[in-house]
Structures are given as structure tokens and as C-alpha cells.
Chains A and B, each alone.
Chain A
Amino acid sequence: MDKFYVAATRSTPYIKFDPPANTFIISGESYPENAAMFYTPVFAWLTEFFDLPDPAPITFDLELIYFNSSSSKALMNLFTMLERLVVAGKDITVNWRYYADNDTALECGEEFMEDAPGLKINLVEVERPE
């Protein structure tokens, strides 16, 4: 299956899904004009990928500095999707990476943990790049 890659823009995140490298990254800012439309191909790729037999354990690295309310909805849909897959027996971990001075990002990570209790979400504090 082809890798999934989207370059970052000012209002949309960098996305790279590369299964052989176990790389599943979404990072940057997310406030597109239409978040539902922006994330549709992301969900299409993931749906196809998870239909493949027995993928290895997977780790998502999410590092979102800012996302608007409709992107938050898309992220909740992602976590709900992953949670269902975990219940169905897949091995999936999410690292929610946030900068130490970004209280909002930490709080958002904590809320996603509460709202997708069946999914393993680690809160990972990272250094803000200079």
C-alpha cells in the first residue's frame, strides 16, 4: 500500500503515514477552511490500511500546536476510529506530543484520553524548537 503524505501549509498539518517505517505522524497547525473535507482522504487511507490483514503494532505521533474546533471534531473521529480498532484486537498507541508552555495542547490531550478511554494515549512533553 502506498504511503500517505501531505505537506504542511500555514493552516494544515504535515501528515506522513509510512507503515514499513512504523511512522504515523500528524504535526503542525490545523485550521483549514473546511476541516471535514481536509481530513476525508486521511480517513479513507486509514480505513483501507486497517482492512489489510494483521498490521504490526502501530504508534501515532501527534504534535498539534493549534487546531480549531472543526479540526478537533476530526481528531475525535480519528480517536474513536482507533479505539474501535483496539477493541477489535489491533495494537495501537498514540503519543500526544505537546510543548511544555502550551497548557491548551496538554488539556486537549487529557480530554481526548477521557473521551477515548479504550485507546492508549501517552502525553509526551517535548521541547519547543528554537
Chain B
Amino acid sequence: MLTNLYDIYMQMLKDEMFFCFSGPVSQHVVEGIGATLKLKMEIEENDMNTIQKVFSIFVEQIHNIMNYSADRLSHDKKGGDLGIGIFIVGTQNGSFYVRCGNKIYNDKLFIIKDQVDELRTLGPDELKALYRERRKNPPPEGSRGAGLGFIEMARKSSRPIEIDFTPVDEALSFLSITVFI
């Protein structure tokens, strides 16, 4: 039985979630939704620096789904390799947040959890120093980007990055990352 869509819609409005996406993520999604998100925030006359921070955290979060989701849609011939996940942009007590979730292999999960736990203990100057040190050195093993995404988000967020996970089976968990701007 399908859940009543109006109930979902009203619940999201009530919870101040103004953007939601669930499914396979491609660069088209990043560009299109990113541009729409910016436009919405510009129309509502948010200040430029807030808009940029929300956009920047959105990009880092959604690239994580693309790169690290264990749920994938791949097609060798068409060259497609899409990560599947969910993200929500909303507000709580006047602060914007970007929340992302995807399935992930547990070995990867523990690497991310250790990294986020460490970042949660660092202040702005320490985050800046770590970011710059990491940027000058080769990326960590297993990273598909520069290994800077979480530090970038930690620097732009107004409170420590929140990490949650729910075991799915022996090999997989569902990872959820919430970043407040």
C-alpha cells in the first residue's frame, strides 16, 4: 500500500523540509537542483554568504552519495555509474541544514565515522590548519576525491557535523550526515 503522498508533503512542510530528493544521483542532479536551491534562497533574499555555504555543503554532501553509496546503478556500455541516496534541505530554528543518507559498506563507514568524530573536536583554526595541510598532501587511500569534503563542510557549518547510522545487514549500514549552516 502506498503512503498517502499528501501526508508526506504536509509532514515535510511541518518539519520545514523544503527540498527532498531520493534516488540515483548524477551530475545533472547536482547542477540542476543546486541552481534551483540557489535561486530559491536568492528569491527569499538570504545573504550571499549563507547561500554559498548552503550550496557548498549541498555539493560536498551529494558528491559523497555519488562516490560512496553502496547502492549503485551501473551500466558499462553507457558508462553510467550512479550512486543512490536521499537528501533533504530544510531549516530548524532559523538555521539551514543539509542532510544526506545512503547505504555504505561498514569498513568505509568506520573510516568516515572516525574522521567525523575527530573533526567534531576541532575548532575553526584547527580545521583550517588541517584543511590546508591535507590540501598540500596526496589524498588518503580509498578516497575518490581529495579527502577534503568533510573538513570543508566542518569549516562552513555552524555546529559540529552530526553522524548517524543504522545497520542494514552484516556488511552494510545506512549512513546519515547532517550539517547545519
Contact = CB atoms under 8 A, between A and B. Distances in A.
Q: Do A and B bind each other?
A: yes
B59 A68 contact: yes
Interface in A72-92: 72-73, 76, 80
Interface in A22-76: 31-36, 66, 68-70, 72-73, 76
Interface size of A as a range:
20 to 34
A122 interface: no
A114 B128 CA distance: 12
Contacts of B135: 72-73, 76, 115
Interface stretch (B6-14, B92-100, B147-155): B147-155
Given A33-B27, A33-B63, A104-B49, A76 B136 contact: yes
Q: Is the interface of B mostly helix, strand, loop or mixed?
A: helix
A31 B30 contact: yes
B16 to A, nearest CB: 25
Interface string B130-149: 00100110010000111011
B165 interface: no
B27 A101 contact: no
A111 interface: yes
Interface of A: 9-11, 31-36, 66, 68-70, 72-73, 76, 80, 101-104, 111, 114-115
Interface of B: 27, 30-31, 34-35, 48-49, 52-53, 55-56, 59-60, 63, 66, 128, 132, 135-136, 139, 144-146, 148-149, 151-152
18 contacts: A10-B31, A33-B30, A34-B144, A66-B55, A68-B56, A68-B60, A68-B149, A69-B60, A70-B145, A72-B135, A72-B152, A73-B135, A73-B139, A101-B48, A102-B52, A114-B132, A115-B135, A115-B136
